Amino acid sequence: MTPLAITALSTVNALGIGLDATAEGLWANRIALRPCDYEDAHIDTHIGRVPGVEDVTLPTAFARFDCRNNRLAEMAVRADGFEGAAQAAIRRYGAHRVALILGTSTSGVRAGEVAFARRDPKTDALPDDFRFHETHDHHALAWYVSERLGIAGPTMTVSTACSSSAKVFADAHQLIEAGLVDAAIVGGADSLCLMTLYGFKSLDLLDTGPARPNDADRRGISIGEGAGLALVEREVGERPALARLLGYGESSDAHHMSAPHPTGLGAELSMRAALERAGLDPGAVDYINQHGTGSTQNDQSETQAIARVFGPQLRCSSTKGATGHTLGAAGIIETAICICALTRGFRPGNSNLETLDPEIPTTVQRASEAASIDVVLMNSFGFGGSNCSLLLGHGDASVSVPEARQP
């Protein structure tokens, strides 16, 4: 495929607001997980909670969209100069020639949870001020961002569990290649809610402490929240690109509703498809950001697939021990992490790793370290076997390694 330029990028996650906070937190090997203190979730676990969400106010004209998920989206719009870059793209191409494709797994379901708790005790009617379509509905996120930024091109919501905001890049490429648009704003958001916290608890998939992907004693995941946005365009001439989308791969296990294929078959197909689409050999890849949730089965099956495709020596790591597993937002947040690695010259460490599982057949990067990286691969795999892998390469703009103590 012809690479696409990624010319603007923002991220919001438990490490902080913006690319600098994320890169500096990873460089310092900081763990942003905390004991669960989310509203009335009485669960013995750790969460990746974004600081300051409760204090965000949406612009007055969009107050009807107010919910935790759309507040995260608003934070991503404001972060890293993204709003200005988006407006410049709309002026450059026209509002109808810019697409919007966002991923989420639960959207603003927390607004629905609150409304259900406030239903009329006699009639069970939901409260009159509950705005389902602007908050709880899966398309509420994309509807909000499209109105907020003034986008009039194709607007889509992708909801494929934890691969949602990775698959948006594939859709953007297809729309641009088809000539329907000249650019696309992609990304996603997912917010903390009781459904996911208690849902994963019922599956016995939550660690009581901070998640420890690839660790011999890992016990499960830590739920996080976050958001991010990226502007994807054709080659942009003299305007610098932060990075380039070199290829993507998608696959479907259809193995189990909540468990990956035991040997990582779908993960392998996804990674091989990304390499084939990019026209690259496995040896061209310098680092892999794993899906790496911290569950025993997930980490084992994914690393088996990585070893079959790339061999045992290629360095990989999971950063979910720092941010938590942000579900539908994981793809865009970890794409931002990979682009930070490319532009700032470091390989992110495997957050919270203590004792490497001896059955992990890959070389795991324990702590962040300076490194020259040209191509990275990012994996996002979702329930039901919905898999996506992205290959990212250098753009034209780069900055130095964050000022931080060498780990």
Report the relative pairing of strands 183-190 and 226-233 from DSSP bridges.
antiparallel
Per-residue pLDDT at 237: 75
Complete domains list, the chain, with CATH: 4-394 (3.40.47.10)
Cα(333)–Cα(77) distance, integer angstroms = 14
Given a contact cutoff of 8 angstroms between Cβ atoms, the answer to whether 364 and 287 are in contact is no
| Three-state DSSP state, 11 | strand
Q: Quick one: average pLDDT of 206-231? A: 97
400-405 average pLDDT score: 40
Instruction: Supply the pLDDT for residue 404.
Output: 36
How far apart are alpha carbons 341 and 285 in whole angstroms?
13
Residue 133 has a pLDDT of: 96
8 Å CB contact between 252 and 385: yes
C-beta of residue 297 within 8 angstroms of C-beta of residue 329:
no
How high is the pLDDT of residue 396? Answer: 81
Residue 276 C-beta-side C-alpha neighbours within 13 Å: 9
- Residue 145 in contact with residue 73, Cβ under 8 Å? yes
Positions marked active-site: 162, 291, 325
Per-residue pLDDT band for 313 (boundaries 50, 70, 90) equals very high
pTM (2 decimals)? 0.95
Euclidean distance between the first and final Cα of the chain, in Å? 38
Mean pLDDT to the nearest integer, 376-401: 83
The Cα–Cα gap between 374 and 376 comes to 7
* 266-301 confidence digits (pLDDT tens): 999 999 999 999 999 999 999 999 999 999 888 999
Q: Both tokens of residue 13?
A: 């996650």
pLDDT at 403 over 60: no
d(CA 225, CA 106) in angstroms, rounded, equals 11
